[in-house]
Copies of this chain bind each other. A is one copy, B any other.
Amino acid sequence: MAKLRAVLFGATGIAGQQFVSALHGHPWFELAAVAASPRNAGRRYAEALGAGGWHLAEPIPPAVAALELLDPGAVRPEAYQLAFSAVEADVARELEPRLAKAIPVFSTASAFRMERDVPLLIPPVNGSHLGLVRTQRSRGFSGYIVPIPNCTVTGLAVALAPLDQRFGVRAAIVTSLQAVSGAGRSPGVAAVDVMDNVLPFIPKEEGKVESESRKILGRWKPGQAEVEAHPMRVSATCTRVAVLDGHTESVSVSLGRPAALEEVRSALRDWPGDPTARALPSTPPRWIEVLDAPDRPQPRLDRDTHGGMATTVGRLREDPVLEHGVKLLLVSHNTKLGAAKGAVLVAELAKSQGLLGAFSEATRGQPPPSDEALGSEPRVH
């Protein structure tokens, strides 16, 4: 089977480089083109990065190194079957709709996360929300836009999902200890700021954690025009610590009913994730690993569990303050499941649901479908 041809925007930044790595050797997708800021257009990818510009430990895949960087404005999206976007939010606001007219766009940018007709996807948590993209036809899109959530939301939503499904979640209080890679590199977090220090504030982050987690854990059924946000209350405090990769989160949860710790533990450990996400190429053996050692999870030791696609959870205890309260610590890899690999996972989901490839090609140039067309159920593998 021929691979689907993907074009990547924001290819030279650190998030873009992570897409290059995540797509290397992918069984379904081929990175066919890379775009970055116009001033680099025409140069080969490796050359534009220059010495010292590639920040991953593995080498640049040779096929990508030789690709000529495109000017984003000159890219004809019809030439590809999907797009990945690793650009900043303000750039995304212009770029992504232009692409989505023709093809699906899988994005790490925050620009469209909270829009009514846009699902915010972590496949094991809410893969079934993907069908909401069909409502984007009313924007005149033959494709659609699917963003992944903020990287701090990812681990939280993964840990809350099984608790919500089994016990209900009424509220959560979370303090994050976030890695510096979450801020990128240009300029990212300055060493003079974070060394021997904790930065107690990350602009806009706490609001994102609170609103995005409620949308992801919310309800959507085919035919609905938007996701109904989860009614839980969420209180977030987001800090930055001197860790390279891997966000740690201290979470207290108020459950919907009393639950013994052992029940909670098994709810987390045995969680299969959404049926739509159980057999994708990037699906890990388990979405959550519950660690029993008292001093785990630790970001350096646990972030790479199952290739950074699993959330590790530990230190399960009762919380004496919240009603039916439990507390735990979790570690989630902010630049793997929480970024490029998470967006690739969403694209895999889209393909498995028949929403890639022929999907856009068929609709290109057609008028938006009637509402009934939005009603089909997701397919489960």
Contact = CB atoms under 8 A, between A and B. Distances in A.
B325 A235 contact: yes
Contact of A299 (B189, B198, B294): B198
A200 B297 contact: yes
Contact of A250 (B189, B237, B319): B237
Interface string A200-224: 1100000000100000000000000
A51 interface: yes
A33 interface: no
A48 interface: no
B295 A51 contact: yes
A17 to B, nearest CB: 12
Interface string A313-344: 01100011110010101000000000000000
A300 interface: yes
B198 A192 contact: no
Interface string A225-250: 00000000111010101111000101
Nearest to A304: B57
A298 interface: yes
A186 B191 CA distance: 11
Interface stretch (A2-10, A154-162, A174-182): A174-182
A244 B320 contact: no
Contact of A197 (B235, B252, B299): B299
Contact of A200 (B180, B201, B295): B295
Taking each of A237, A297, A322, which has the highest tally of chain B beta carbons within 10 Å of its own beta carbon? Answer: A237
A320 B250 CA distance: 17
A294 B197 contact: no
A319 B239 contact: no
Interface of A: 14, 51-52, 55, 57, 171-173, 175, 177, 180-181, 185-201, 210, 233-235, 237, 239, 241-244, 248, 250, 252, 254, 292-301, 304, 314-315, 319-322, 325, 327, 329
